[in-house]
Amino acid sequence: MLILGIESSCDDSAAAVVIDGRRIQSSVVASQTRVHHRYGGVVPELASRQHVQAIMPVTRQALDEAGLKLADIDAIAVTQGPGLIGSLLVGFNFARALAYGLEIPWVGVNHLDGHIHSIFLQPDPPDFPFVALLASGGHTSLYHVTSHTAAKPLGHTRDDAAGEAFDKVAKMLGLGYPGGRVIAELAAKGDPAKIPFPRAYMKKAGFDFSFSGMKTAARQFIEANSDRLEEMMPHIAAGFQEAVVDVLEDKLTRAAAHLDCPRTAMVGGVAANARLRERLREAGAHNGYRVTLPPRELCGDNAAMIAAAGYHALKAGQRSGLTSDVYSRRPSACGAGPPDQNQRHPNTAA
């Protein structure tokens, strides 16, 4: 089954063609970071306008790269939420119009289910059940994934998402948005033990996260050391990154042990972090669980993961229709999602 995936939940306009939820024929991502960089976060109004301009060319490019025509597509999968409403509406209404014009089925997909499905786009996905850690700019959550359409949430962040904390520390250091990749590059040149950063393990027995203490520690250190910031920047980045990685690794390891589940996966934009990938592989080898990571280009937002999740939603009989609507925040059908109903996307510019 050939599925066209469409993603426009935040600041990436993406389209992809995927066969049977497994084989990527094409995956095109038009990033808007150049537009938002100087504002230190995503400006929702600008994001929607960029999506309007990009959605058609990106879709055309995905079809061209796959060597296909619109008439070859069997169904469309599109991100329905969570995300920025004005951004989601662009992709969602585009997909709806296209599906009605082509008279093919279409389905709205939860963005977090999409991230979890990025794991099925690499050659050796885990069997069910597995423990999945999702860390992105908007979410940090642990799930027990029991099928393609069922995931039990184990814990969520109580404050910032892990990627959001990277972005905020980068902003404090004057490094612009998004911050994950720049912090990781700086960290490679720094000493992670030079500056002490707190680790919030919350209740040792629980699976919730907190990253605001690390962010505050960074702010206090930056304010107290403004005269030697240039020299200290790599050490701040390394110390902060190591603290985030310690907490993510600890929670994943304990969730796998708690559920006696030897299969784990790490997904979302933060899963592109080289130090995190290295540490999780070591932790898995040491503690006897397998860690599956998507290729780095599928960690960040893309439409191939939406097509993969959509394939399984369609197989399970899910369909969207004329009256379907987008949502900013809501737990997904399979349980993936935050508990709160906060309307603001954490990465929007203040």
Expressed in angstroms, the distance from the first to the final Cα of the chain is 43
Q: Among the residues of 188-337, which ranges form H helices?
A: 212-224, 229-258, 274-287, 304-315
323: left (phi over 0), alpha (psi -120 to 50) or beta: alpha
Distance of CA 82 to the CA centre of its chain: 11
Contact call for residues 6 and 309 (beta carbons, < 8 A)? no
x/- map, 313-342, ligand KG4, by CB under 6 A: ------------------------------
Q: Of 269, 294, 335, 337, which one interacts with ligand KG4 (CB under 6 A)? A: 269
The reply on whether position 180 binds ligand KG4 by CB under 6 A is: yes
Nearer Cβ to ligand KG4 (19/200): 200
Q: Work out how close the CB of 291 gets to ligand KG4 at its nearest, in angstroms, rounded to a whole number.
A: 16
Q: Are 330 and 81 in contact (CB under 8 A)?
A: yes
If DSSP codes are grouped into helix, strand and coil, which group holds residue 323?
A: coil
**Is 272 near ligand KG4 (CB under 6 A)?**
yes
As a three-state string, the secondary structure of 49-76 is HHHHHHHHHHHHHHHHHHCCCHHHCCEE
- Per-residue contact track with ligand KG4, 293 to 312, x per CB under 6 A? -------xx-----------
Q: Which of residues 108-137 bind ligand KG4 (CB under 6 A)?
A: 136-137
Contacts of 118 (CB under 8 A, 6+ apart): 267, 294, 298, 299, 302, 304, 305, 308
Q: Is 181 in the site for ligand KG4 (CB under 6 A)?
A: yes
Q: How near is the Cβ of 175 to ligand KG4 at its closest, in Å?
A: 11
Site string for Zn ion, 289-328 (x = CB under 5 A): ------------x---------------------------
Contact string 107-136 vs Zn ion (x = CB under 5 A) = -----------------------------x
Task: Answer whether the bond into residue 198 is a cis peptide, omega within 30°.
Answer: no
Would you tell me which residues interact with ligand KG4 (CB under 6 A)? 10, 136-138, 163-164, 166-167, 178-181, 184, 268-270, 272-273, 300-301
